[in-house]
Structure 1
Amino acid sequence: MLARVLGPDWGARAARGLAFLRRRITGEYEVDDFGYDQELTDQVLMSLLRPVYEKYFRVEVRGIENIPADGAALVVANHSGTLPLDGLMLQVAVHDHHPADRHLRLLGADLVFLLPVVNELARKAGHTLACAEDAQTLLERGEVVGVMPEGFKGLGKPFADRYKLQRFGRGGFVSTALRAGAPIVPCSIVGAEEIYPMLGNSRTLARLFGFPYFPITPTFPWLGPLGALPLPTKWTIQFGEPLPTDGYPPEAAEDPMLMFNLTDQVRETIQHALYKLLVRRRSVFF
């Protein structure tokens, strides 16, 4: 009877769970020099995020094969949604759908690594500081690295500016990709813009709490903690064709005009893909 309720493989699952706990207690698990704990990410963190990804946002993934099966790649995506849930959903998309079982190492803002608990979880999940040194180290190791160059400008933009890409900084991600000879994979995310429609920004509260912005949405802060629940929008994550960088000479990474042109090319590719996805979208929620 118990086997019928829990499923035929409940015994194997229980054994794996007990073995996982034993390794946690005895410290017999590996963490890299960035703090990445792959076992914890695979067995716990992804399991917690997967229901949100599959059931709540119902994410559709396209073009995942554009991330190479091996070797380094830099995934460059748009950023939105008030809270950085798009980065987490992007990580699940690569983890669960890439045919070669690639893992995405996200580059995060300073604030992520200043917050207690969040800092530790981000490190465990393979995230690291968005700086050229860390990004290049990961790319030289053959990792898939994810960056969202709009930063807080994209994440905290008003709802009226949804799906309008903000400035991509000074092209530092292009320089890093050129130095490592890693292809740049443009990524367009539709659905995150509407999870917290940001109608206003309380700069006074933002300064008080040390945040880059303090969002005012139709539900927050009016409904208290309930207002922090994101709207259940339907998401699409599309990976575009990779832009190769290995054909440039070594000094190309120091050419500001080339940086500008390539950065603009990546940005325009993502923006154009966003417009096409929005035209095809039937509804925000379906």
Structure 2
Amino acid sequence: MRSDSSAQVIRLRRDESPGGDRDHAAEVEHGGGADRDASVVELPTPPASGTGAADPHEPLDRLLTFLRNRLTGDYTVDEFGFDPELTDALVLPPLKLLYEKWFRVAAVGAGNLPADGGALLVANHSGVLPIDSVMTALAVHEQHPQRRHLRMLGADLVFRTPVLGTLARKSGQTLACNPDAERLLRAGELVGVWPEGFKGVGKPFSARYKLQRFGRGGFASAAMRTGVPIIPVSVVGAEEIYPKIGDIKPLARLLGLPYFPVTPFFPLLGPLGAVPLPTKWTIEFGEPISTGDYGPEAADDPMRVFNLNDQVRESIQQMLYRRLARRRNVFSG
């Protein structure tokens, strides 16, 4: 926050007339000499950023901009509930600490992400908790020149969970179903899907980096109908954050969960055992697989859908094998 008395000020004044709780007026005022009263809330407008060295005030400026827009209602939410400003201001910063400091993610092949227009990103899934999907979305945002957001398709369990479901919607996620996927792709969005589902994220440690079945190929038919490219994505490092060595099935059924994992540290160490191991991650974006030659009618041909589904799965598996062959150590990459 700067002390310059000529800084632009946003003044929010509650209507003091009867029933004034309903109405608010906002006015923009220049200069610091205007009279103020107790009914005025003032926030300095962040100064315009320059083109030189990084401004040490930038994080505070972004926060002030976010608060100002929340108070004035000057922000947008799309039909799926996605709030990009809230995502950038509140959701991504703590996740970025995990991304940069804990998992030390190295993103490879970001040049394969389209500059604009729709694309379907298909990735392997692992790690007991779906942290890999969030880190993949952050890799897209951090590496793309336009800071594009990845619109993730999630399981219904996510949206049934209090607080988490609301946060998921506001950060751009939606239910993993073809109608929503196709609407997003036709709108030119980058859409992420993890076809292994719970079979992948909850598989035992002994099956690490072995892709599970990709379901019926719903993602392939969505890409065919919309004509967008499919970008295979491999994530190395997530398999080891919670080495799953067991599953307490009765407890999982009681809690309505697909599994209740047992790791070397959880539940033995309680909450401390829920801290993920600080493995070194590599997220690789592979070469796009074109679907333009298929045509929308191919989405109704089970054999063509299966072939594309299998091609994408094999591409990701080979990317995983190549990346694992280069890895020296689980914690140093």
Q: Give the aligned residue type for 2:228.
A: A
**Partner of residue 245, structure 1:** 291
How many angstroms apart in 2 are the aligned matches of 1:210 and 1:14? 41
1:187 pairs with 2:233:
yes
Q: Which residue of 1 is the match for residue 104 of structure 2?
A: 58
Question: Aligned match of 1:142 in 188, 200, 205?
Answer: 188
Higher mean Cα deviation, 24-33 or 129-138?
A: 24-33
Helix, strand or coil for the counterpart of 2:161? coil
Which stretch shows the higher mean deviation, 10-19 or 145-154? 10-19
* CA distance in structure 2 between the partners assigned to 1:271 and 1:76 by the alignment: 12
Aligned counterpart, 2:213: 167
Separation in structure 2 between the aligned mates of residue 193 and residue 11 of structure 1, nearest angstrom: 38
Residues 231 and 285 of structure 2 are in contact (CA less than 8 Å); yes or no, is this contact kept in structure 1?
Answer: yes
TM-score norm. by structure 1 comes to 0.95
The one-character-per-residue Cα deviations of 1:205-232 (angstroms, maximum 9, x if unpaired) are: 1001000000000000010110100000
SS at match of 2:120: strand
Question: Which string of whole-angstrom CA distances, capped at 9 and with x for unpartnered residues, describes residues 163-206 of structure 1?
Answer: 00000000010000000000000000000000000000000110
Using the TM superposition, give the Cα deviation of residue 15 of structure 1 relative to its aligned residue in structure 2, in angstroms.
3.8
Q: Is the 8 A contact 2:234 2:320 kept in 1?
A: yes
1:275 & 1:19 partners in 2: Cα distance?
45
Compute the displacement of 1:24 (Å). Answer: 1.7
In 1, the alpha carbon distance for the partners of 2:57 and 2:120 equals: 40
Cα offset for 1:22? 2.2
What amino acid is aligned across from residue 243 of structure 1 in structure 2? I
Q: 1:102 deviation in Å?
A: 1.8
Q: Secondary structure at the match of 1:69?
A: coil
1:34 maps to amino acid: F
Contact 2:63 2:89 survives alignment (8 Å): no
TM-score by length of 2: 0.82
Instruction: State the 1:13 CA deviation.
Output: 4.2
Aligned length: 282
- Equivalent residue number for residue 46 of structure 2: none
| Identity percentage of aligned residues | 63
Report matched runs for 1:114-133 at 5 Å: 114-133=160-179
CA–CA distance in structure 2, aligned partners of residues 154 and 13 of structure 1: 37
Kindly report the root-mean-square deviation, in angstroms, between the aligned alpha carbons of the 2 structures: 1.6
Unpaired segments ≥5 residues, structure 2: 4-52
* Secondary structure of the corresponding residue to residue 51 of structure 1: helix
Partner residue of 1:109? 155
Correspondence 1:69 to 2:115: yes
1:97 aligns with 2:156: no
Letter matched to residue 9 of structure 1:
D
Name structure 1 gaps, 5 residues minimum. Answer: none
CA shift digits 1:75-101 (9 cap, x unpaired): 000000000000000011000001232
Q: Aligned-pair distance for 1:10?
A: 4.3
Q: CA deviation at 1:103?
A: 1.3
**Partner-residue secondary structure (3-state), 1:138:** helix
CA distance in 2 between counterparts of 1:29 and 1:275 reads 44
Q: Which amino acid aligns with 1:279?
A: A
Q: 2:300 aligns with which of 251, 254, 262?
A: 254
Q: Deviations over 1:43-98 (max 9, x none)?
A: 22111100100010000111111111111100000000000000000011000001
CA-CA distance at 1:249 after TM superposition = 2.8
Q: Quote the Cα distance in structure 2 between the aligned partners of 1:190 and 1:19.
A: 37
Question: Is the Cα–Cα contact under 8 Å of residues 81 and 195 in structure 1 kept in the other structure?
Answer: yes
Letter paired with 2:192: G
Shift of 1:29: 1.2
State how far apart, in whole Å, the 2-side matches of 1:12 and 1:189 are.
32
Letter in structure 1 aligned against 2:132: D
8 Å contact kept, 1:65–1:99:
no
Q: Which has the higher contact order (CA 8 A, sep 6+)?
A: 1
